[in-house]
Amino acid sequence: MSTAAAAGRRGAGGYALHVVLLAAFGGLVLAVTRLAPETHGSLWTIAAIGFLLLAGTLMSELVAPLGLPHLTGYLLAGIISGPYVLRLVDEHTVKTLSPVNTLALSLIALAGGAELDLETVRKGAKSLAWATVVQCLFVLVVVTGLFFAGARTVLPFARSLRPAALLGFALLWGALSVTRSPSATLGILSQTRASGPLATFTLAFVMTSDIVVVVLVSLVMSIARPLVDPTATFALDSLRTLGHNLFGSVALGTTLGLFIAAYLLLVERQMLVVLLVLGFGVSTVVEYLKFDSLLTFMVAGFIVRNLSSQGHKFLRYIEQTGTVVYVVFFATAGADLNVPLLHTLGPAALVLALARTVVTWAGGRLASRLAGDPPALRTWGWSGLVSQAGLALGLSVIIAREFPGFGTQFRALAIAAVAINEMVGPILFKLALDRTGETSPIQAPSFPSMIPPPPS
């Protein structure tokens, strides 16, 4: 038997084993949930985390031969296990996992800041500046125009809106379309261990654009308010509050980063435990102060990487938590996706998501031409900007609260569109990294205990 045939047989055997294990564990949890449907409590929450971790890991192994990223497997495992399909993890349990998701997001943001090397960002400053301006303004203006022109055709509830109110609605949708997903970007880069112009540019753009997006959404909300409500007036109070919160987030993140750097230098014991404690503790403080959590932890990671000598050591500890964090975060996100809502608003959300992707592609090509980017960025620079996740959903909650007249419909549409972008975006980004040759031949295992295969 040839070596290739033996390897193929081993690969087929491993694939079949993953299918059997996934079916066995899924069947076990299904039996438990049907025999004791009222099961709740902390023990069941821990069991749900364990099951999502295992199901996401096995599903990622099943989709990998198709060329799909691990994130797709995590999301699919969550959707299938969630309250709208097999109901292995019910809605109550998904809600109780919120603190775990908060911790995961804080570690993802720490990793993102720690991956940003100041010298690398400085070298790509021209590309980053053009992309920020074009992707924010171009996408905002074009998506707003497309939404205003076609909303009455695809959205029944938009037909009753006054033209001014519809314009306000369109502006808010355009602002929401500018958001990206740092967690999805970092998840793909963590799996592929990619390095090169596309990986560096995408990471720098997605992480730094968070600040621009938050400011932009607040400004658009101030403009949209008098359009939606004729009795309201334009006010900049919200921008002053926003400035205070952004400054506070940077200050808190800087303090946290300096503390982590000092701890690594002077103590460096039980670092993983320290990260978990800091993640929960600082997240609670951030929530109480109403600061931006993503920005706070991103700044902390950036400070450790660039203003101390502990950056590489810190990255090593972050990477040890990486795979588990991504599995839990995205599997829970999949379980939280409202499948019936996606089915109801799917056609309209699909049209809007497709329009956003096309505009993002056009904006990427325009920005790359203005910046004089290399061919790889001109062709694929847009691919990592399609994903949306927690930031978009969080902003949709704020918009729904600020505009109760149509906020419920707006948030429902946002959830459906984000779900599509959350599924499609990582696939596009991984495809681009593969096509540009930036993907490492030794990719990260789907679970820490799995040893990555040697390069062929």
- Give the pLDDT score at 18: 62
pLDDT at 38: 57
Q: Could you tell me the pTM of the whole model?
A: 0.80
Find, among 90, 62, 98, 66, the residue nearest to 77 by Cα: 62
Nearest to 314 by CA among 328, 299, 302: 302
pLDDT at 356: 93
Q: By C-alpha distance, which of 430, 429, 416 is closest to 176?
A: 416
Give the right CATH number for 100-435 from 3.40.50.150, 1.20.1250.20, 1.20.1530.20, 3.30.60.50: 1.20.1530.20
Alpha carbons 378 and 175: distance in angstroms, whole number: 24
The conformation of residue 455, written as its DSSP 8-state character, comes to: P
* pLDDT at position 447: 47
**Mean pLDDT, 10 residues at a time, over the chain (456 residues)?**
45 64 68 60 70 84 84 86 82 79 81 81 86 89 90 80 86 89 86 88 85 79 80 65 81 92 86 82 85 85 88 79 77 80 80 92 92 91 87 75 74 84 91 90 54 42
* Residues of each domain in the chain carrying CATH 1.20.1530.20: 100-435
- Going by C-alpha positions, the residue among 101, 85, 87 that lies closest to residue 36 is 87
Q: What pLDDT shows up at residue 5?
A: 45
Q: Report the pLDDT value the prediction gives residue 230, as an integer from 0 to 100.
A: 74
Task: Determine contact, residues 75/60, Cβ cutoff 8 Å.
Answer: no
The closest alpha carbon to 181, from 367, 438, 381, 425, belongs to: 425
